[in-house]
Amino acid sequence: MVVCFAEVRFLLMNAAVVKNALSTGVLVRAAYITLTWLTTLVLFLQDTDLRRQEQSGDLLQPGLFLLLVLLSVLLYLGVSLMDPGFVRSDAGPELSAGVSEELHQMLPQPCRRRCGRCLLQQPMRSRHCQTCRHCVRRFDHHCPWIENCVGERNHRWFVLYLAVQLLVLLWGLRAACSGFVQAPAWGQWLEQNGLLMLASSATGIFSVVVVLLLGSHLYLISLNTTTWEFMSRHRISYLKHCGDENPFDRGILRNLWEFFCVRRVIAWEEAYAKISASPA
């Protein structure tokens, strides 16, 4: 009986390990890393600028490119595995962000929210993510690319990752285009340039995607709003009563400074309470 119980327990543990190993997040990250290094390998195996510089002994640019690729992979893993700002206790905004009970009571009742799924007191600008099954502080969006939420703790790192990734992609696209060779027939050309064509297509498509993502995030950051707030303003309790006014906007320069340089948790309830208390 004891042996049977031990065998069942062993099988359940193995099943859990296999489930975690085959989870969507692991598969997405493995696919990203594999595609990144395969593309890099193609750029160094084909007759590109990177390959020619390496063969001539000029290792500065090839080495810098490899360092940027490695940095982009490390940033990707960091952002995808980082806690984005999960709300893990019922401390409420007055404890988690240093907001006094008196100030908290100044907020309109619809803005003092308790999550209907995890039943925790939600700090302002947080939202419950059904995929991660947690409320996330200053929720921006759930990104399938990194299989993680983008929130208060990892948003700036996500933007930095996008910037580094864009540099890598544009450099890779330029290197891939430098390796194309002429051929007398279409079949011969495709045979000689097929891998470079795949590499240039992948880097070109991802470059467009990253440019759009980076541009949209920088625009929203300059307004001190999030993707979720921008797309769902009419449904968010603490914004739909503000009309066209953004209670968190402090000007472009200050918004950018606080996003990229301020490390402390910002009490968004304080900024909102001031707007709510001001005369119409």
| Per-residue pLDDT at 186 | 82
Burial of 98-126, coded b for 16+ CB within 10 Å and e otherwise, reads: ebeeebbebbeeebbbebeeeebbbbbbb
| pTM across the whole model | 0.83
C-alpha distances out from residue 98 to 104, 127, 165, Å: 10, 19, 36
Closest CA to 83 of 123, 26, 137, 164: 137
149 forms bridges with which residues in the sheet? 142
Of 115, 143, 177, 242, the active-site residue reads 143
| Per-residue pLDDT at 189 | 81
With beta carbons less than 8 A apart as the criterion, state whether 205 and 211 touch. Answer: no
| Per-residue pLDDT at 275 | 59
Burial of 43-58, coded b for 16+ CB within 10 Å and e otherwise, reads: beebebbbbebeeeee
pLDDT along the chain (280 residues), means of 10: 43 39 76 95 93 92 96 96 87 47 51 77 89 92 94 96 98 93 82 89 96 97 95 86 83 93 79 59
Dist. CA 142–CA 133, nearest whole Å? 11
| Per-residue pLDDT at 94 | 43
| Per-residue pLDDT at 17 | 33
Domain extents in the chain: 33-277
| Per-residue pLDDT at 23 | 65
Closest CA to 175 of 43, 24, 34: 43
| Residue carrying the six token digits 């080495």 | 63
* Residue 143: active-site member: yes
| Per-residue pLDDT at 3 | 42
| Per-residue pLDDT at 202 | 94
Which phi and psi angles does 2 have, rounded to 5°? Answer: -65, -40
